[in-house]
Structure 1
Amino acid sequence: MLPTELLSFRVKAGVVEPKRIRPTPTNLALAESLIAAFEGHIGRRRSELDDELRALEAGRADFRVLRGLAHLLTQAGEFEAGGPVEPAFVRERVFALAQAHPPSRLNAARVLEQASRSLSADSPLSPAEVQGALYADLPDQQTLVAFDPPTPTELLQRYDLAQAQGLLYRAYSLIITARRNEPARYKQLLKYTKLFGLMLTVEGDATFGFTLTMDGPTSLFGGTTRYGLAMAKFLPALLHVTKWDLTAALKPRRDLAWVDPADEEWHYGLTSEDGYVSHYKPPDEHDSALESGFTERFARLDSPWVLEREVDLVPVPGGVILPDFRLVQGERSVLVEIVGYWRPEYLRKKFELLRKSGRTDVIVCVSERLNLEKAGVNPSDFGDRVVWFKGVLNPKEVLERAERLAG
C-alpha cells in the first residue's frame, strides 16, 4: 500500500475520490523505466538505486506518482545486508580495536587493516570490505538480492488499487452490498474479514443480495487508523466478488491546508464496475473433493432442483456461516452443509454455529468417519435434517431430504 504522503485525491462536497493513473503510452513507459531500474540494481546497494530514482524524478511534475510506483516496486523486492559477515559482528570487532588508537585517518586505516586480519579467520575480508560491511545492515546500504517484477500494466493497476486502499486508512465504517455471485466468492470475502479482524453484521438474502456492515468505533480503537488499515487490506479480497458496491465513512484529514475545516466526515464509494484489479489469489472453485464430487454426481441427475454453490450468507450471533450449497426449485429452497474430515475444534464450532442460526432449512451432511463423540457434538439436535454418508455423498438422498423439508 501507499503511505499517506504519497496519496493523491480530491474532495468535493464531502465526497472523496482518488486520482487514478491510466495505462497511456507515457505512463506505461514510466512504469517500464522504473521496473528496469530495479532489475538493473539487483546485487547492488539500495543507495545506488535511490540515486537513480532521484535522477528519474528530477524535473517531473508527476514526481508523487513516480515515488508511489517506486514504493510499490520496493515492496516487490528483497533487501538484505550484503557480505559474508554480520555487520553487527564487524562493528563490535572494529570498535574494540579502535579503543587503542586516537582518532585520525591514518589510525582508521590501521584499525581496518587489523580488523581485516582478525576477521579473516572467519571469512577473508580486505580492509575496504571491512569498511563496507560496517553499516551494511542500514536500509540504504542493504543489497537488492531478489526482485519479482510486475509488468508495466500490472504496476499501474497495483498503483490504482493502492490509492483506493490508502483512502480507507481513515475509514471507520464500511457498508457493502453484495449481490448474487460466482461460487466461492462469498467464502473468500468472509475469510478475509476474519483474517483482518473486521467486525461484521449481515442482512439480506441470496435472491436480492446481502448488506455487510463493518464498523470500527473510535472508542474501541482510539485515535489510530488500525481498523482503517484492516479495511484497506480487505479491499483486494472484495474485488473477487463479482457484483457489489461499497460506501465508507472516513475521518477528514486536518493536516492539509485545502481541506474544508467544516467537514466532519468524508464519504467514499466504490463498485465492482470501477475496474480495479486485485493482486490476491482468486479462490478455488471447490474447497474439497467432497464438494466437487457431489457437484459432479448431481449434474448427472435428471432433477427439477437446481444446485447453487455458496450463495447464502447466514448471520448467527457472533459470526456468519456460508452453507456449501443451495437447492432451489421454483419458490422452494433448502441449504446444504457438508461436514467432512475436520479437527474436533472445527466440528464443535461448525455445529454450534449451525445450532445458533436457528435455521430449520439446512440439511447437514455428516461423514460417518468423523469422531463426533470426541468433538462433543450431538447431531441428533438437527433431527431428520442430518444425512449420513461414508466415502461418497449420494445426491439422491439429499434430494429426498430436500423434498421433505421444503414441503
Structure 2
Amino acid sequence: MDSRRGMRGRYVARVRWRLVCPAGAPRSHRFMLTRAQVDPFIRTRGEQLQVAYLADPKGNIVPFLDRMLRLVRKLHGQPLEIVLEALRRQERRVRDASRLAGISRTIVEWCEFTWPPGAEELDSARARVFAARGTLWPPIPGDELLPFTATAALLGRTPEALQRGLYDDRPGARRLHRIPDGDGRALLARYNLELARGVLRDATRVVLHTRGGWRDVFRAVKAAGLMHELVRVGRRYHLILTGPAAAYLVRPARYGVRFARVLPVLARTPAWRVDAELTRNGEAWSFKLRGRARAVSGVAPVGREPKRERFDSAWERQFVRDFRESSWAKAVGWELSRERSPLSSAGTVFLPDFTLRHPDGREAAVELVGFWTPEYLASKVAKVRAATGVPLVLVVAKSLAVGASGAEITELGGERLLWCGKHPRVGDVMRLVEQVATVPRR
C-alpha cells in the first residue's frame, strides 16, 4: 500500500469538511439554519413575512422529537461526523426532509462538542510523520507504521493510535461531550426560534421589546458589540439594533454572526416582541415575532445576579485585569465598578460598561464600543456630548469598523473618544478619564 497516497486522501477529506464547516466559525453561527432550511417555510401576506412554524396538533411530532434526542444521547462520545450521519438517516422516516434537516441542525447546535485529547498537537505531528515518510521513500510492504514510530513516542502514543487519529483535529472529529436535558417539546420551541433567527439574517433594522429582563438582553447586545440605541418609552425600554442586512455594512457576515446571539437571550425574558424591517431580493418587508419565556434547564432566572463576576466580552475581562494591576488603582486610588445605572441623553439611554471613581469625588463612565460605522459613531458621540451628569468616555477599536465612508474620522469625537488597537490600554483610558472626570451633582 502507498502510505503517502492514503494520507493524501484523508487530507482531501479534511479540506472538504472545512468548506462545509469551517473550524474557526463560532459555534452559534456554524450550525444556524441555512436558507434552504428556512426559505421553504416563509410565507408572504401583503408587505409582511410570516413563518410556517412547526406545530403538533395531532400529538405525533413531540414523541418523534423525543426519539431524536434519545438517539443523540446514545451517541455520547462519538465524533460529530457520526452524529450528523445518524441524524441524516432519519430522513427516510419523515415526509418533509427540509424540516428534519433543520431539526437535526438545531439539535447539533444545542449540543456541545469537544476536541479529542491531544488534537492541538496533530498539526506538527503530521509534519514530522510526512517528513519521516519522505526519508523512507519508496515504501515497502510491512513498513506502514515505520514513519509513525518516532513521532508516536514523542506524543506518548502507540504508532497504531497515531495512525488512526492523525486527522482528529478536523471539525468532524470533535466528540459529543454534552447533550441537552430538554425534551421534545423544548426542542420544538428551539427549532421554531431557529426559524425566526434565520429570517432575521435579512433584517436591516430590529426593535426589541420586553416586559422584563431587559438588562440581560442589553448585556447580550453589548457582548456581541452590535450597533444599538436604547430608548426609554414610559416605564419600558425599546432596544433598536442595526440588522446584518443594513446597506452600509461592508462585513455583514461578521456582524451577522454576533447578531444571531441575541434572540435566544431575548426568548428567555418574561414576555417579548420583535419588530423587524427586512430586505429580501431587493424588496422591503416587515416581520413580527412575539413570545413568552419557556423553562430552560440550567439557565438562571432572568434578573438574578450571578455569584461570579461576569464579563460581557474578552475586552472587559482584560481591561479589568490590567486596571487592577496598574498604578492607577494601587497608587492613584481610582476604583472601578460595573455600572448598573443608565445615563440619559435626549431620550437615549446608555448603560456604560464601567464607572471609575476617585477618592476626591470625581467620576467618569467608560463604554467599550463594538462594531461601528462612521455614521453610527458620529451619532453616538453627539449624544455623549449632549449627556448630562457623569461624563462618558467611548473606547473604540479601529479593527471593528463594518461600514464604508469617505469622511475623515480620525478627529471624530475629540476629547470624549479614544481609539485603540486590539485591546484598550489602561494608561490611555485613564489619562482621558482624568481629563473629563467631574464631581457629579447629587
Q: TM-score range by the shorter chain?
A: 0.5 to 0.7
In the alignment, which residue of structure 1 is the partner of 2:86?
Answer: 52
Tell me if 1:61 matches 2:77. no
TM-score (norm 1): 0.62
Whether contact under 8 Å (1:198, 1:230) holds in the other structure is: no
Amino acid at match of 2:189: Q
Matched, 1:377 2:438: yes
Task: Give the conservation status (yes or no) of the 8 Å contact 2:215–2:303.
Answer: no
Change (3 A) 1:357 1:47: same
Distance of 1:40 and 1:375 partners within structure 2:
60
The 5-angstrom pairing of residues 236-315 of structure 1 reads: 236-252=264-280, 254=281, 264-271=283-290, 274-275=291-292, 277=294, 281-285=300-304, 315=344
Per-residue deviation, residues 16-45 of structure 1 (Å, max 9, x unmatched): 122212356422233222222222222223
Distance in structure 2 (CA, Å) of the matches to 1:146 and 1:237: 20
2:196 counterpart SS class: helix
Say if 1:151 and 1:202 are closer, same or farther in 2 by CA, change over 3 A: same
Question: How far apart in 2 are the matches of 1:175 and 1:121?
Answer: 56
Whether the aligned pair in 1 keeps the contact of 2:208 and 2:239 (CA below 8 Å) is yes
Match of 1:338 in 2: none
- Does the 8 Å CA contact 1:174/1:249 hold for their aligned counterparts? yes
State how far apart, in whole Å, the 1-side matches of 2:143 and 2:120 are. Answer: 20
Whether 1:163 aligns to 2:195 is yes
Q: Deviations over 1:204-236 (max 9, x none)?
A: 322xx5544334583531372555555443223
The counterpart of 2:183, out of the listed 151, 173, 177, is 151
How much has 1:68 moved relative to structure 2? 2.0
Indicate conservation of the 8 Å contact 1:250/1:265, yes or no.
yes
Q: Does 1:200 align with 2:215?
A: no
Q: 2:107 aligns with which of 69, 73, 77?
A: 73
Query: Is contact 1:168–1:229 with CA below 8 Å preserved after alignment?
Result: no
Paired residues for 1:131-146 under 5 Å: 131-146=163-178
Structure 2 residue runs of 5 or longer lacking an equivalent are 1-31, 308-340, 367-382, 391-432
Code of the aligned partner of 1:264: E
Q: Residues of 2 paired with 1:163 and 1:251: CA distance?
A: 17
Change (3 A) 1:143 1:241: closer
Report how far residue 269 of structure 1 moved: 0.7
Q: Does 1:349 align with 2:365?
A: yes
- Give distance in 2, aligned partners of 1:55 and 1:234: 32
User: Structure 1 residues 61-70 or 212-221, which shifts more?
Assistant: 212-221
Write the letter of the residue equivalent to 1:91. Answer: R
Q: CA separation in 1, counterparts of 2:92 and 2:149?
A: 40
Instruction: Output the CA distance in 2 between the equivalents of 1:318 and 1:225.
Output: 31
Asked if 1 retains the 8 angstrom alpha-carbon contact of 2:209 and 2:274, the reply is yes
Indicate how the Cα distance of structure 1 residues 154 and 354 shifts in structure 2: closer, same or farther if over 3 A, else same.
farther
For residue 177 of structure 1, report the CA deviation from its aligned partner.
5.0
Note if 1:3 corresponds to 2:64: no
1:178-217 matched pairs, under 5 angstroms: 181-182=211-212, 185-196=213-224, 197-202=226-231, 204-206=233-235, 209-216=236-243
Q: Which runs of 5+ in 1 are unaligned?
A: 255-262, 289-311, 323-340, 360-371, 387-407
Match of 2:131 in 1: 96
CA distance in 1, matches of 2:357, 2:342: 24
Asked if the contact 1:188–1:237 (Cα under 8 Å) also holds between the matched residues in 2, the reply is: yes
Superposed displacement of residue 152, structure 1: 2.0
* TM-score normalised by L of structure 2: 0.58
The DSSP-based 3-state class of the residue aligned with 2:261 is helix
CA change 1:223–1:11 in 2 (3 A) is: farther
Match of 1:298? none
> Could you tell me the percent identity over the aligned residues?
19
Q: 1:80 touches 1:137 (CA, 8 Å); kept in 2? A: yes
For the structure 1 residues 60 and 243, does the alpha-carbon distance in structure 2 shift closer, same or farther, using more than 3 Å as the test? Answer: closer
In the TM superposition, residue 199 of structure 1 has moved relative to its aligned partner by: 1.7
Backbone CA RMSD of aligned residues:
4.2
- Aligned residues of 2:232 and 2:349 also touching (Cα < 8 A): no
Name the aligned partner's letter for residue 302 of structure 2: P
* CA distance in 2 between partners of 1:140 and 1:201 (Å): 41
Answering whether residue 257 of structure 2 is matched by residue 222 of structure 1, we say: no
SS at match of 1:251: strand
- In the aligned structure 1, how far is the partner of 2:159 from the partner of 2:363? 62
CA spacing shift, 1:72–1:240, aligned 2, 3 Å:
closer
Residue 53 of structure 2, aligned match among 20, 43, 65: 20
Bigger drift between 160-169 and 147-156 goes to 147-156
Task: From the CA coordinates, give the structure whose radius of gyration is larger.
Answer: 1
Deviations 1:351-384 (A, max 9, x none): x98992579xxxxxxxxxxxx99994313xx2xx
Conserved 8 A contact 1:316-1:357: yes
Residue 195 (structure 1) shift: 2.7
Task: Verify: 1:86 aligned to 2:114, yes or no.
Answer: no
Question: Counterpart of 1:57 in 2: which secondary structure?
Answer: helix
**In the alignment, residue 100 of structure 2 is paired with which amino acid?**
L
Q: Displacement, 1:249?
A: 0.7
Q: What is the DSSP-based 3-state SS (H/G/I as helix, E as strand, rest coil) of the residue aligned with 1:218?
A: coil
Whichever residue aligns with residue 174 of structure 1, its letter is: V
> For each residue in 1:338-363, what CA deviation from the matched residue of structure 2 results, as whole angstroms up to 9, or x when unmatched?
xxx9643994128x98992579xxxx
Using a 3 Å threshold, how does the CA distance of structure 1 residues 233 and 281 change in structure 2: closer, same or farther? farther
**Residue 65 of structure 1: how far off its partner (Å):** 2.3
Q: Offset of 1:250 from its aligned partner?
A: 0.7
Give SS of 1:155's match: helix
